[in-house]
Amino acid sequence: MDIRLSAEDEAFRQMVRTWLEGALTEDLRDSARKRTSLWQDIDTAMAWQRILHQQGWAAPDWPEAYGGTGWTIIQRYIFAQECIRAETPALIPMSLKMCGPMLIGHGTDEQKAHYLPRILSGEDIWCQGYSEPGAGSDLASLRTMAVGDGDDYIVTGTKIWTSYAQHANMMFALVRTSTEGKQQEGISFLLIDMTSPGITVKPIINMAGAHELNQVFFDDVRVPKANRVGPENGGWTVAKYLLQFERFSMGSIEIHRTLDKVAKLARITPVGAATLADDPAFAASLSQLRTANQALEATEQRVMASLSAGHSPGPASSFVNILSAETAQRADELGVEACGYFAAPWQPEALEPGVNRAPVGPEIAVPLVPTCLSNRMKTIAGGSSEVQRNIVAKAILGL
């Protein structure tokens, strides 16, 4: 098997590399290096998205007709790799990776024409209103009510764990429009303007001290019926379709980044007369994780190939999610091990963009502990690993 890239793909790689070198400012790189969670700080994420959008590269996975790049699967993979190499900032997934593909699959022509360009440009920032207190894994038991009133619904209830709701001007949400019959058959999918009267956003601070999560309250909020995606009481199908995209992310890219940092740190961490990188047990752990991540990457590429052929990710996105969440957590733990005693100082100020005070210990070590803490959520958010295993058992193994 010849796994070398073709001359055209090598030329593509060079073109992307040159463009990234020119497009990334030192400020953007600095913020990207200091990111400690799934979410980049909003200013950096949106600044980078605008630059990508000007180039037509904000959503490489979307069909070309809606603003995608038309790249082949290999080209998209090369682009992802070059982004790791160049240390690009992360983009906000709720808009580009979830809402966009969901609208492309299930939105009306009007909804697509209105929202997709605004997602690409960053004019709209979306958050996800699925979970509620008492409705997480058992999502279908959600109770936020939407009652018809002429051309509108009146929405009342609450959503929780709503990532970046404090920055979003739009929410895609699941609401209950019927209490008859099966729970799944009484749910509708709405697009809600977050500036509507009656919406309150309250922060939830995570254990790394960051404000990424919120609880959102709806108190008689008017939402036009034209903002419904799919039929009334038919929102469950749309919700599940979107979840496949949420659960499928190129998690291996993040893990590559973490493992590269860990390897760099190990090369400068003294152990006796040598370095941690020379320690056979450490080197074996690092190699095992690199191998596991390559296996994950191959699985991701299979799902991407299926997407390129016009299919949705399907239940395979669940095992991609399990593998990427659990491998990421093992990589984070190795990162903390590599920090040694420099894992102890808690120094969030060293992660501020543009800070001019030297950190305690090597600079590369500073984000590793907060990243490890923040990534504990990876086996919960988007559906816990236990629930994903249930899906794999039923939908793939037929158990």
Ligand X SMILES: Cc1cc2nc3c(=O)[nH]c(=O)nc-3n(C[C@H](O)[C@H](O)[C@H](O)COP(=O)(O)OP(=O)(O)OC[C@H]3O[C@@H](n4cnc5c(N)ncnc54)[C@H](O)[C@@H]3O)c2cc1C
**Between helices 280-308 and 73-86, what is the axis angle to 10°?**
140
Among 40, 44, 88, 163, binds ligand X (CB under 6 A): 163
Residue 184 interacting with ligand X (CB under 6 A): no
CB hemisphere CA count around 104 (13 angstroms): 26
The answer to whether the CB of 170 falls within 8 A of the CB of 103 is no
What is the closest distance, in whole angstroms, from the C-beta atom of residue 340 to ligand X in the complex? 28
Stretch binding ligand X (CB under 6 A), from 78-86, 159-167, 185-193, 335-343 = 159-167
What is the closest distance, in whole angstroms, from the C-beta atom of residue 11 to ligand X in the complex? 39
User: Which CA distances in Å does 49 have to 92, 124, 126, 257, 332?
Assistant: 9, 12, 14, 20, 27
Residue 251 interacting with ligand X (CB under 6 A): no
Place of tokens 């995209």: 245
Residue 40 interacting with ligand X (CB under 6 A): no
CB closer to ligand X out of 56 and 136: 136
CB closer to ligand X out of 246 and 297: 246
Nearest partner of 97 among 51, 175, 163, 161, judged by Cα: 163
Which amino acid type is present at position 83? C
Stretch binding ligand X (CB under 6 A), from 40-48, 131-139, 262-270, 274-282 = 131-139
Stretch binding ligand X (CB under 6 A), from 110-118, 122-130, 222-230, 247-255 = 122-130
Among 31, 36, 162, 269, binds ligand X (CB under 6 A): 162
The answer to whether the CB of 42 falls within 8 A of the CB of 122 is no
d(CA 89, CA 240): 28
Residue 131 interacting with ligand X (CB under 6 A): yes
Residue 329 interacting with ligand X (CB under 6 A): no
The answer to whether the CB of 376 falls within 8 A of the CB of 329 is yes
* Both tokens assigned to 49: 């998205």
Residue 194 interacting with ligand X (CB under 6 A): no
d(CA 319, CA 198): 39
Q: What are the residues binding ligand X (CB under 6 A)? A: 127-131, 136-137, 161-163, 213, 377, 380-384, 386-387, 390
